[in-house]
Chains A and B, each alone.
Chain A
Amino acid sequence: MCGIVGLFLKDKKLEPELGSMLTDMLVTMTDRGPDSAGIAIYGSDTDNKAKMTVQSDTPDEDFTGLDKAIKAATGTSVSISRKDTHAILEMDADAASAVRESLRETHPSIRVMSTGDTIEIYKEVGLPKDVAARFEVSKMSGTHGIGHTRMATESAVTTMGAHPFSTGADQCLVHNGSLSNHNSLRRKLRRDGVHIETENDTEVGAAYLTWKMQQGSSLGEALESSLDDLDGFFTFVVGTKDGFGVVRDPIACKPAVMAETDQYVAFGSEYRALVNLPGIEEARVWEPEPATVYFWKH
Chain B
Amino acid sequence: MSYFRAENLSLHFGGLKAVDAVSFAVEKGEILSIIGPNGAGKSSIFNLISRIYRPTSGRIFFEDQDITEEAPYDIAKLGIARTFQNIELFENATVLSNLLVGRHRHSTTQLWQELLFLPSVRANEKVHRRRVEQVIEFLDLEPYRDKLISGLPYGVRKVIELARALCSEPKLILLDEPSSGLNVEETDDMSFWIRDLKNELGVTVLMVEHDMSLVNRVSDRVIALNYGRVLAMGSPAEVQQHPDVVAAYLGA
Mutual binders A and B: no
Q: Which residues of A contact B (CB under 8 A)?
A: none
